[in-house]
Every structure is written in structure tokens, then in C-alpha cells.
Amino acid sequence: MLKLAIVAGEPSGDLLAGALIRALRARHRDLHFEGIAGPEMIKAGCDCLVPLERLSVMGLIEVLGRYPGLVRLRRRLIRRWIADPPDIVVGVDAPDFNLTLELALRRAGVRTVHFVSPSVWAWRQYRVRKIKRAVDMMLTLFPFEEDFYAKHRIPVRFVGHPFADEIEMDPDRDEARTRLGLESQGVIVALLPGSRIGELGALAEPIVRTARWIHRRRPEIRFVGALANPSTFDLFSQALARHAPDLPCSVFLGGARDAMTASDAVLLASGTATLEAMLIKRPMVITYRAKRLTWELGRRLLKAPHIGLPNLLAGERLVPELLQDDAVPERLGPAVLECLDHPQPERIDTFRRIHRRLRNDAAAKAAEAVLEVALGK
């Protein structure tokens, strides 16, 4: 039996890891998985040692309050997997936690793979030296990342993105509205303020107030919110009750992809959801806020010209990014209305080209690479 340890740190990583586990099981019958897991990983057959919410921390400054507990947790996993070594450890995203874990275990003779490259090409490039010591192979979701690692002589494989495999080239808006119980007619704006508590704390109010700003000017527009878990659902519902109690907004626990598909435009936090919105071919406005010190530190370290994945993949500013002090209704609202009133077919064509490039049977490719490293091929 092959024993695989796998660690994810947030809902997007849980989705990727769940798909990877299923693809591994399709290729090798005798497997055991354990690690830090979310619902998708558990559903796929991973024994949950720790729920992934323990790792879901946002921001350079915000993580400091949780740091001692995270260090204790990582040491506990290192002791466990050195005493009873798995055939391979797969860290899925969560680089600040996983790369140190992988480094310690690789030094102890355990093979390691990291799935989802940290943004070393954008900021904190010094991390590439640690990555070279920590991993036997890096699996990247995007083709430009493979080029970066190859230049640094780190074993790497571009596997594509599972979301590009899962999402149809032309998702059906009417079907999504039916699944959500929404009326088929009329304009809908999807609101996605993030998947983590810290993001909701920063973005729930400005996004709700932006929706109110839009509704006062265009009362025919309806809204749909999708939240990743009960905690974020409650925070967003509270923000609605406090700042826009009369807003025509249907709020769902889960269902973010359906909410985006059902919409005509999306207002959302920077992150993996922006990739999904691009693959669904919806115009969007990207926003983000952080604590002031986190923002200032991050801005000084950032080397990439954009933060939104659609813009990074396109190599140009296709999608508006209204961040920090610009994340206010007076800026966000007009940007959303611009998306609705002046659609740009050429932008959707670019989204389609990127979708085709990322559609690569990613879970299968990742599973093949993990098995190669685990079996020493």
C-alpha cells in the first residue's frame, strides 16, 4: 500500500486536492491518504488529521496572531511523518506552511511534491532557493510558471488547471439560474467577497455598499451572493442586514460557480474565484482590501504588474482591479455598470483562448507526476 500525506490550507486547495485524490485512486488501487483536509478531500477518501480551516489565514500581519499555533501544528505533523514516513508528501498551495513542512520531511528522506506554485514570479522571489531544497517536483497550474522554474533548474511540470477541465466552454446561464431558483429574466450581478474570514472582514461592507449604490441607480438589477462556509455566510448576511436591508439579493451557502454562471457581471475578491469567473466568461471587477500595514508591505514586495489571475494570464489589464483605497462604492459601482453597459467581445475571446490553454486534464497529469515521484521513477 502506498501512503500519501496531503496538506491543503483553504477551500480552493481542498477542491484541487480532492480532484487529485480521485485521479490517484483511478490509477492505483492500494492507496491511503491522510493529512490536513477539507470536505472535498474527505469525500474523496482522505483521513482528516486536522481540518483545513486551521491553516486558512489571510495577510502578512494577520497571520502573526496564529503563528505559534501553526508552528506547533507543523511540528506535530513533521514528528508524525518522520516516525511513520509516507511514501510522499503533497503540499497543496498554503506555501508558507507547506514549504517548511516539505523541507523538513525531505531532509528526513521523504519525497515531496508541491502542487500550485506560490507567486514567486510576482513577489518574494528569494523563496525559490527554499523551494529548490524543499521539493522533488513542483506542479504548476499555469504555463508561464513552468518556464520560471525551468530557468531555476527546479524539477517542474505544468499540469493545467482542473477548473479549466471542469467548466464548459460556454456555461448555460439559464440552467444556472434554474438550479439556484432564480428568475430567468433580468440582469444579475454576482457578489463574491472571498472565502476567508479575514477577507469578509475587509470586503463584506464595501461590496454590500457597492451593491446598494448600484441598486439605487438601477433598481431593476438583482444580486446573488455565494459564500464558502457558514462563518462567511453569517458575516455577509450581517453586512447585508446592516448596510442594505432592502437589497434584492439571494445569498447561498456554496454555489459560487453557479452564482457566477447565473450572473451578467461579477464583483469579487482577488483570488481563485477570478479564474473561475474568467473560465465562465463573465465580465468582472476585482477588488481587495487588507490591513494598512499588510497592504504597504505587500505592495513593496510585489513585482507583478497585476494581481488578478485573468490579467496575469492575459499579460494585460483586461479586468478592472480596484484595490485598497479604491475599493469604495463610488469606484466599484461605476466599474460594474461599465461591464454591464459596454460588453467587450474581444475580452471574452481572450478568456476563451486562455481556457483552451489551461484545459489539460490537470488532475490526471498531476496524479501521474505524484505517482512517478512516490515510486521513484
Half-sphere exposure at residue 8, Cβ-oriented, CA atoms within 13 angstroms: 26
Same domain flag for 208 and 300: yes
Half-sphere exposure at residue 352, Cβ-oriented, CA atoms within 13 angstroms: 9
Residue at 297 is within a domain: yes
Share of the chain above pLDDT 90, in %: 73
Residue at 167 is within a domain: no
Same domain flag for 369 and 316: no
| pLDDT of 376 above 80 | yes
Write out the residue range of the structural domain in which residue 296 sits.
173-358
Same domain flag for 127 and 182: no
Same domain flag for 116 and 196: no
- What pLDDT digit, counting tens, does each position of 141-154 carry? 998 899 999 999 99
Residue at 135 is within a domain: yes
Same domain flag for 179 and 57: no
Q: What's 320's domain CATH number?
A: 3.40.50.2000
220 exposure class (CB count in 10 Å sphere: 0-12, 13-18, 19+): exposed
pLDDT for 11 equals: 81
Same domain flag for 182 and 298: yes
Same domain flag for 341 and 370: no
pLDDT for 61 equals: 40
Q: Which of 20-34, 43-57, 164-178, 301-315 has the lowest mean pLDDT?
A: 301-315
Same domain flag for 122 and 224: no
Residue at 144 is within a domain: yes
Residue at 165 is within a domain: no
Same domain flag for 198 and 336: yes
Q: Are strands 321-323 and 284-288 parallel, antiparallel or unpaired?
A: parallel
Q: What is the pTM (predicted TM-score) of this model?
A: 0.79
Residue at 273 is within a domain: yes
pLDDT for 62 equals: 45
Q: What is the dihedral of CA 120, 118, 115, 317, to 10 degrees?
A: -90
- What pLDDT digit, counting tens, does each position of 305-355 carry? 677 889 989 888 899 999 988 999 999 999 999 999 998 999 999 999 999
- What pLDDT digit, counting tens, does each position of 138-184 carry? 999 998 899 999 999 999 999 999 889 999 999 999 999 999 999 99
Long-range Cβ pairs for the range 168-175 (8 Å, 24+): 169/352, 169/355, 169/356, 170/281, 171/261, 171/280, 171/281, 172/261, 173/261, 173/262, 173/263, 173/264, 175/261
Overall number of domains in the chain: 2
Same domain flag for 153 and 78: yes
φ/ψ region of 323 (left if φ > 0, alpha if ψ in -120 to 50, else beta) reads: beta
Same domain flag for 152 and 182: no
Residue at 178 is within a domain: yes
Residue at 168 is within a domain: no
Same domain flag for 353 and 323: yes
Sheet architecture: strand order including 2-8 = 46-51, 31-37, 2-8, 88-92, 112-115, 137-140, 156-158
